[in-house]
Amino acid sequence: MAIIEMKNLWKEYGDQVVLERLNARVEEGEFVTVVGASGCGKTTFLKLLLGTEQPSRGEMLLDGAPLPAEPDESRGIVFQRYSVLSHLTALQNVMLGGELQNSRWLGHCVGKTRKALQKEARAMLDSVGLGQAMDKYPHELSGGMQQRLALAQALIKKPRILLLDEPFGALDPGIRADMHQLVLSLWKSQKLTVFMITHDINEGFYLGTRLWVFDKPRLDPQAPGAYGARITYDLPVGNCEKNTLTRINRSVGNTSRAINDTL
Ligand SMILES: Nc1ncnc2c1ncn2[C@@H]1O[C@H](COP(=O)(O)OP(=O)(O)OP(=O)(O)O)[C@@H](O)[C@H]1O
Protein backbone atom coordinates (compact mmCIF):
# COMPACT_ATOMS: atom_id res chain seq x y z
CA MET A 1 0.00 0.00 0.00
CA ALA A 2 1.17 3.53 -0.78
CA ILE A 3 2.28 5.57 2.23
CA ILE A 4 0.80 8.69 0.60
CA GLU A 5 -1.91 8.80 -2.00
CA MET A 6 -3.65 11.82 -3.52
CA LYS A 7 -6.97 11.40 -5.21
CA ASN A 8 -8.25 14.33 -7.26
CA LEU A 9 -6.83 16.76 -4.70
CA TRP A 10 -7.64 20.48 -4.96
CA LYS A 11 -6.61 23.44 -2.80
CA GLU A 12 -8.34 26.78 -3.15
CA TYR A 13 -8.09 29.99 -1.14
CA GLY A 14 -11.32 31.90 -1.79
CA ASP A 15 -11.49 32.42 -5.57
CA GLN A 16 -7.88 31.41 -6.09
CA VAL A 17 -7.24 27.86 -7.24
CA VAL A 18 -3.73 26.97 -6.06
CA LEU A 19 -3.59 23.23 -6.77
CA GLU A 20 -5.94 21.25 -8.97
CA ARG A 21 -6.54 17.59 -9.75
CA LEU A 22 -3.46 16.11 -8.09
CA ASN A 23 -3.35 12.33 -8.40
CA ALA A 24 -0.31 10.34 -7.30
CA ARG A 25 0.83 7.43 -5.16
CA VAL A 26 4.09 7.44 -3.22
CA GLU A 27 5.56 4.26 -1.77
CA GLU A 28 7.39 4.13 1.57
CA GLY A 29 11.09 4.95 1.13
CA GLU A 30 10.77 7.14 -1.96
CA PHE A 31 12.60 10.48 -2.10
CA VAL A 32 10.37 12.89 -4.02
CA THR A 33 11.87 16.20 -5.05
CA VAL A 34 9.49 18.98 -6.08
CA VAL A 35 10.36 21.85 -8.40
CA GLY A 36 8.13 24.52 -9.91
CA ALA A 37 7.58 28.21 -10.59
CA SER A 38 7.61 30.53 -7.62
CA GLY A 39 4.11 30.95 -6.22
CA CYS A 40 2.60 27.90 -7.89
CA GLY A 41 1.74 26.05 -4.69
CA LYS A 42 4.70 23.90 -3.61
CA THR A 43 4.69 25.05 0.03
CA THR A 44 0.91 24.75 0.11
CA PHE A 45 1.33 21.14 -0.98
CA LEU A 46 3.79 20.46 1.89
CA LYS A 47 1.33 22.06 4.32
CA LEU A 48 -1.35 19.64 3.09
CA LEU A 49 1.06 16.77 3.80
CA LEU A 50 1.91 18.20 7.22
CA GLY A 51 -1.77 18.69 8.09
CA THR A 52 -1.72 22.43 8.77
CA GLU A 53 -3.87 22.95 5.64
CA GLN A 54 -6.81 20.84 4.48
CA PRO A 55 -7.77 19.97 0.90
CA SER A 56 -10.69 21.91 -0.55
CA ARG A 57 -11.71 18.86 -2.56
CA GLY A 58 -10.45 15.34 -3.03
CA GLU A 59 -8.39 13.24 -0.65
CA MET A 60 -4.92 13.06 0.82
CA LEU A 61 -4.41 9.57 2.26
CA LEU A 62 -1.76 8.30 4.67
CA ASP A 63 -1.54 4.49 4.67
CA GLY A 64 -4.90 4.45 2.88
CA ALA A 65 -6.76 6.53 5.51
CA PRO A 66 -7.45 10.29 5.48
CA LEU A 67 -4.36 12.13 6.67
CA PRO A 68 -4.83 13.43 10.26
CA ALA A 69 -6.14 17.00 10.24
CA GLU A 70 -3.28 18.16 12.48
CA PRO A 71 0.50 17.66 12.41
CA ASP A 72 1.64 14.60 14.40
CA GLU A 73 4.84 12.64 14.95
CA SER A 74 4.48 10.74 11.65
CA ARG A 75 5.59 13.87 9.75
CA GLY A 76 8.56 16.14 10.48
CA ILE A 77 9.30 19.37 8.63
CA VAL A 78 12.30 21.65 8.00
CA PHE A 79 11.86 25.10 6.45
CA GLN A 80 14.43 27.26 4.67
CA ARG A 81 14.86 29.32 7.84
CA TYR A 82 13.47 29.91 11.31
CA SER A 83 12.66 26.30 12.16
CA VAL A 84 14.41 26.53 15.54
CA LEU A 85 13.76 28.67 18.62
CA SER A 86 16.37 31.37 19.22
CA HIS A 87 16.15 31.42 23.06
CA LEU A 88 16.90 27.70 23.44
CA THR A 89 20.25 25.93 23.05
CA ALA A 90 20.72 23.27 20.37
CA LEU A 91 20.08 20.54 22.93
CA GLN A 92 17.00 22.27 24.36
CA ASN A 93 15.63 22.81 20.85
CA VAL A 94 15.90 19.11 20.05
CA MET A 95 14.44 18.08 23.42
CA LEU A 96 11.49 20.45 23.13
CA GLY A 97 9.22 18.20 21.03
CA GLY A 98 9.63 15.30 23.44
CA GLU A 99 9.16 17.52 26.50
CA LEU A 100 5.88 18.89 25.18
CA GLN A 101 4.71 15.42 24.22
CA ASN A 102 5.56 13.89 27.61
CA SER A 103 4.50 16.81 29.74
CA ARG A 104 1.82 18.74 27.92
CA TRP A 105 0.97 21.07 30.85
CA LEU A 106 4.33 21.66 32.45
CA GLY A 107 6.23 21.99 29.15
CA HIS A 108 9.27 20.18 30.53
CA CYS A 109 10.11 16.74 31.91
CA VAL A 110 11.85 15.71 35.11
CA GLY A 111 13.78 12.74 36.46
CA LYS A 112 14.22 9.60 34.38
CA THR A 113 12.04 10.79 31.50
CA ARG A 114 14.18 13.89 31.15
CA LYS A 115 17.42 11.90 31.28
CA ALA A 116 16.18 9.51 28.58
CA LEU A 117 15.07 12.40 26.41
CA GLN A 118 18.40 14.14 26.88
CA LYS A 119 20.27 11.00 25.85
CA GLU A 120 18.15 10.62 22.75
CA ALA A 121 18.59 14.29 21.82
CA ARG A 122 22.38 14.09 22.27
CA ALA A 123 22.53 11.02 20.00
CA MET A 124 20.42 12.80 17.39
CA LEU A 125 22.66 15.89 17.52
CA ASP A 126 25.69 13.62 17.16
CA SER A 127 24.15 11.98 14.10
CA VAL A 128 23.78 15.35 12.35
CA GLY A 129 27.33 16.39 13.25
CA LEU A 130 26.49 18.81 16.08
CA GLY A 131 28.02 16.81 18.91
CA GLN A 132 30.32 19.71 19.81
CA ALA A 133 27.66 22.41 19.62
CA MET A 134 24.91 21.11 21.93
CA ASP A 135 25.04 24.05 24.32
CA LYS A 136 25.22 26.77 21.71
CA TYR A 137 22.29 29.03 20.84
CA PRO A 138 21.10 29.22 17.21
CA HIS A 139 22.70 32.67 16.67
CA GLU A 140 26.05 31.10 17.60
CA LEU A 141 25.69 28.52 14.80
CA SER A 142 26.45 28.92 11.09
CA GLY A 143 23.63 28.64 8.53
CA GLY A 144 24.55 25.04 7.75
CA MET A 145 24.69 24.16 11.45
CA GLN A 146 21.28 25.75 12.00
CA GLN A 147 19.82 23.54 9.27
CA ARG A 148 21.50 20.49 10.83
CA LEU A 149 19.80 21.47 14.07
CA ALA A 150 16.45 21.86 12.31
CA LEU A 151 16.90 18.35 10.86
CA ALA A 152 17.68 16.93 14.29
CA GLN A 153 14.61 18.66 15.69
CA ALA A 154 12.41 17.26 12.92
CA LEU A 155 13.80 13.72 13.27
CA ILE A 156 13.83 13.32 17.06
CA LYS A 157 10.24 12.09 17.07
CA LYS A 158 11.14 9.41 14.49
CA PRO A 159 8.78 10.54 11.74
CA ARG A 160 8.17 8.23 8.80
CA ILE A 161 7.83 11.18 6.46
CA LEU A 162 10.27 14.09 6.29
CA LEU A 163 9.11 17.30 4.60
CA LEU A 164 11.83 19.70 3.45
CA ASP A 165 10.91 23.17 2.17
CA GLU A 166 14.01 24.45 0.38
CA PRO A 167 16.14 23.57 3.40
CA PHE A 168 19.44 24.43 1.70
CA GLY A 169 18.32 27.42 -0.37
CA ALA A 170 20.18 29.93 1.80
CA LEU A 171 23.44 27.97 2.09
CA ASP A 172 26.74 28.30 0.21
CA PRO A 173 27.47 25.62 -2.42
CA GLY A 174 30.16 23.83 -0.37
CA ILE A 175 27.93 23.62 2.71
CA ARG A 176 25.03 22.50 0.53
CA ALA A 177 27.08 19.56 -0.73
CA ASP A 178 27.75 18.49 2.88
CA MET A 179 24.05 18.79 3.66
CA HIS A 180 23.18 16.65 0.62
CA GLN A 181 25.34 13.85 1.97
CA LEU A 182 23.77 14.22 5.42
CA VAL A 183 20.21 14.10 4.12
CA LEU A 184 20.95 11.08 1.91
CA SER A 185 22.51 9.21 4.81
CA LEU A 186 19.60 10.08 7.19
CA TRP A 187 17.08 9.06 4.51
CA LYS A 188 18.74 5.66 4.20
CA SER A 189 19.54 5.01 7.87
CA GLN A 190 16.11 6.10 9.15
CA LYS A 191 14.19 4.59 6.22
CA LEU A 192 12.39 7.86 5.61
CA THR A 193 9.99 8.86 2.88
CA VAL A 194 11.08 12.35 1.84
CA PHE A 195 9.30 15.19 0.03
CA MET A 196 11.70 18.04 -0.69
CA ILE A 197 11.04 21.35 -2.45
CA THR A 198 13.97 22.87 -4.26
CA HIS A 199 14.47 25.73 -6.71
CA ASP A 200 17.47 23.90 -8.14
CA ILE A 201 16.46 21.24 -10.63
CA ASN A 202 19.95 19.74 -10.57
CA GLU A 203 19.65 19.30 -6.80
CA GLY A 204 16.25 17.68 -7.44
CA PHE A 205 17.75 15.20 -9.89
CA TYR A 206 20.75 14.51 -7.68
CA LEU A 207 18.88 13.81 -4.44
CA GLY A 208 15.54 12.38 -5.50
CA THR A 209 14.46 8.95 -6.64
CA ARG A 210 11.52 10.72 -8.24
CA LEU A 211 11.09 14.30 -9.47
CA TRP A 212 7.77 16.16 -9.61
CA VAL A 213 7.29 19.38 -11.51
CA PHE A 214 4.42 21.59 -10.34
CA ASP A 215 3.24 23.85 -13.12
CA LYS A 216 0.12 25.56 -14.40
CA PRO A 217 -0.85 24.04 -17.73
CA ARG A 218 -3.51 26.76 -18.11
CA LEU A 219 -2.99 30.39 -17.17
CA ASP A 220 -5.49 33.19 -17.83
CA PRO A 221 -3.74 36.59 -17.55
CA GLN A 222 -7.15 38.24 -16.93
CA ALA A 223 -7.90 35.85 -14.05
CA PRO A 224 -4.60 34.63 -12.57
CA GLY A 225 -6.32 32.65 -9.81
CA ALA A 226 -8.70 30.76 -12.11
CA TYR A 227 -6.46 27.73 -12.59
CA GLY A 228 -4.15 25.87 -10.27
CA ALA A 229 -0.90 23.97 -10.63
CA ARG A 230 -0.78 20.28 -11.42
CA ILE A 231 2.00 17.71 -11.45
CA THR A 232 3.06 18.13 -15.06
CA TYR A 233 6.08 15.81 -14.88
CA ASP A 234 6.49 12.77 -12.63
CA LEU A 235 9.91 11.37 -13.45
CA PRO A 236 11.71 8.38 -12.05
CA VAL A 237 15.16 9.91 -11.65
CA GLY A 238 17.96 8.38 -13.69
CA ASN A 239 15.49 7.25 -16.27
CA CYS A 240 14.52 10.27 -18.34
CA GLU A 241 15.56 11.44 -21.74
CA LYS A 242 18.26 14.01 -22.33
CA ASN A 243 16.22 17.07 -23.26
CA THR A 244 13.73 16.76 -20.42
CA LEU A 245 15.68 19.04 -18.08
CA THR A 246 15.81 21.83 -20.67
CA ARG A 247 12.09 21.44 -21.39
CA ILE A 248 11.20 21.58 -17.68
CA ASN A 249 13.37 24.64 -17.09
CA ARG A 250 11.76 26.41 -20.04
CA SER A 251 8.15 25.65 -19.07
CA VAL A 252 8.67 26.52 -15.38
CA GLY A 253 10.48 29.74 -16.41
CA ASN A 254 7.54 30.72 -18.64
CA THR A 255 5.03 30.13 -15.84
CA SER A 256 7.18 32.13 -13.40
CA ARG A 257 7.26 35.07 -15.77
CA ALA A 258 3.52 34.82 -16.45
CA ILE A 259 2.69 34.70 -12.71
CA ASN A 260 4.94 37.71 -12.05
CA ASP A 261 3.40 39.66 -14.94
CA THR A 262 -0.04 39.21 -13.47
CA LEU A 263 0.97 40.43 -9.98
N1 LIG B 1 -3.00 31.05 3.76
C2 LIG B 1 -3.14 31.52 2.51
N3 LIG B 1 -4.18 32.30 2.19
C4 LIG B 1 -4.37 32.77 0.94
N5 LIG B 1 -3.51 32.53 -0.08
C6 LIG B 1 -2.44 31.76 0.18
C7 LIG B 1 -2.20 31.22 1.48
N8 LIG B 1 -1.05 30.48 1.43
C9 LIG B 1 -0.60 30.57 0.16
N10 LIG B 1 -1.43 31.33 -0.59
C11 LIG B 1 -1.28 31.63 -2.02
O12 LIG B 1 -1.10 30.38 -2.69
C13 LIG B 1 -0.19 30.54 -3.77
C14 LIG B 1 0.89 29.48 -3.65
O15 LIG B 1 1.73 29.78 -2.53
P16 LIG B 1 2.94 28.83 -2.11
O17 LIG B 1 3.63 29.48 -0.97
O18 LIG B 1 2.39 27.46 -1.90
O19 LIG B 1 3.83 28.85 -3.43
P20 LIG B 1 5.30 28.25 -3.68
O21 LIG B 1 5.23 27.49 -4.95
O22 LIG B 1 5.76 27.53 -2.48
O23 LIG B 1 6.14 29.59 -3.87
P24 LIG B 1 7.72 29.88 -3.62
O25 LIG B 1 8.48 28.98 -4.55
O26 LIG B 1 7.86 31.32 -4.00
O27 LIG B 1 8.01 29.62 -2.17
C28 LIG B 1 0.33 31.97 -3.72
O29 LIG B 1 -0.37 32.76 -4.65
C30 LIG B 1 0.01 32.41 -2.30
O31 LIG B 1 -0.24 33.79 -2.25
Query: Whose C-alpha lies nearest to ligand 1, atom 5?
Result: 13
| pLDDT for 103 | 61
Residue 82 above 70 pLDDT? no
Q: Which is more confident, 247 or 242?
A: 247
User: Cα separation of 101 and 73, whole Å?
Assistant: 10
Q: Which of 9, 38, 42 to mutate to test the pocket of ligand 1 (most atoms within 8 A of CB)?
A: 42
Residue 241 above 70 pLDDT? no
Average the pLDDT over each of 121-125, 186-190, 235-239 and give the range with the smallest value.
235-239
Cα of 18 vs centre of ligand 1, distance in Å, is 8
Helix (H) or strand (E) holding 11: strand 4-13
Please state the pTM of the whole predicted model. Answer: 0.90
How far lies 242's CA from each of 97, 215, 230, 238, 250, in Å? 44, 20, 23, 10, 14
For the stretch 133-147, what's the b/e string if a residue is b when 16 or more beta carbons lie within 10 angstroms of its beta carbon? bbeebbeebeebbbb
Per-residue confidence band for 220, with pLDDT thresholds at 50, 70 and 90: confident
Every domain of the chain and the residues it spans: 1-74+160-263, 84-158
Tens digit of pLDDT for each residue in 2-57?
999 999 999 999 999 999 999 999 999 999 999 999 889 999 999 999 999 999 99
Q: Which of 10, 12, 13 to mutate to test the pocket of ligand 1 (most atoms within 8 A of CB)?
A: 13
Measured in degrees and rounded to the nearest 5, phi and psi for residue 36 equal 165, 165
CATH of the structural domain 1-74+160-263, one choice from 3.40.50.2000, 3.30.300.30, 3.40.190.10, 3.40.50.300: 3.40.50.300
Residue 215 above 60 pLDDT? yes
Average pLDDT rounded to a whole number, residues 81-89: 84
Cα of 14 vs centre of ligand 1, distance in Å, is 13
| pLDDT for 210 | 96
